[in-house]
Amino acid sequence: MLRGCATAIISPFHDNGELDEEGLKDMVEFQEREGVDAIVPCGTTGESATLTHREHLRVIQIVMDTKKRVKVIAGAGSNATHEAIHLTKGARDLGVDAVLSISPYYNKPTQKGILRHYEAIAKAVDIPLIVYNVPGRTGSNIAPLTVKKMSEIPNIVGIKEASGNMDQIMQILAEVPPDFDVLSGDDSLTMPLMSLGAKGCISVASNVAPRWVTEMTHRALSNDYVGARELHFKLLPLFKNLFLETNPIPVKTAMRMMHRPSGVFRLPLCDMEAANAEILRKTLADLKLL
């Protein structure tokens, strides 16, 4: 489903908090010019938790209408299975290539409940589905055995792994079939995981430096690990400092510094602390991104 770099794209807003549709189109065009392989609207980085269902589907529609060549993997998860099915059907009807479905947050389901959640979505909507494991956001972890069971469901095609647990991710890589795609959900782990068999990443940093992140993944896919490693270390300060505060606060702040569409945050997210913003500004300046 994905080889290389997919950008978990931000949702730009106007000063009044409304969706900046022209800014979103500009973002999609910028990402395509810079060579990314896919765009992921309505993920965590896109402030999906603050979008209404109408806005959620509108963001996906704008991305679909604007893109020319990239794949679109739309965020369509929820902590309520029926709501996840509703959003997944909406994304399918808009023509996306796949959906990214976060594991149920807040509920803290058991492994059995997580598996049944994804089974229900996969049965209800015939579309490639990528599972999203991010325990720091959801309060629960998807265990490797559960991932292996999900890999046996025909239209569950991969997982975005953002647990940060290398032992766990290596176990998943060792046990799932070769055609089940494991994608890095942590920019700082993308290159190490690709050396172990991950197919690429769903990236926050590629909002800011799409060409470099894409090149890093493509070098790794070509077994040029020396070149991939050089880019990894070059970008490591950016990978780190884009998480000085809760995502997407730093990345939207960085986009604002670069005079690219960004805009305000929707509460409860708020502006970055001045000291952290200065660290981020220096990082961008050192990479000559300003």
> Residue 132 belongs to what H/E stretch?
strand 129-133
Torsions phi, psi for 274 (to 5 deg): -60, -40
Active site residue 106: no
Is the CB of residue 19 less than 8 Å from the CB of residue 59? yes
CA dihedral 163, 1, 198, 125 (to 10 degrees): 30
Exactly one of 132, 199, 234, 282 is catalytic; name it.
Answer: 132
| 132 assigned to active site | yes
- For 141, residues 6+ apart whose C-beta sits below 8 A from its C-beta are 133, 135, 163, 165, 168
C-alpha distances in Å from residue 282, one per residue of 21, 143, 237, 253, 277: 30, 38, 10, 13, 9
Catalytic-labelled residue, pool 160, 199, 234, 288: 160
Decide if 150 contacts 118 (C-beta within 8 A). Answer: yes
Q: Return the structure tokens found at 147.
A: 């991932």
3-state secondary structure of 272: coil
**Active-site residues: which are they?**
132, 160
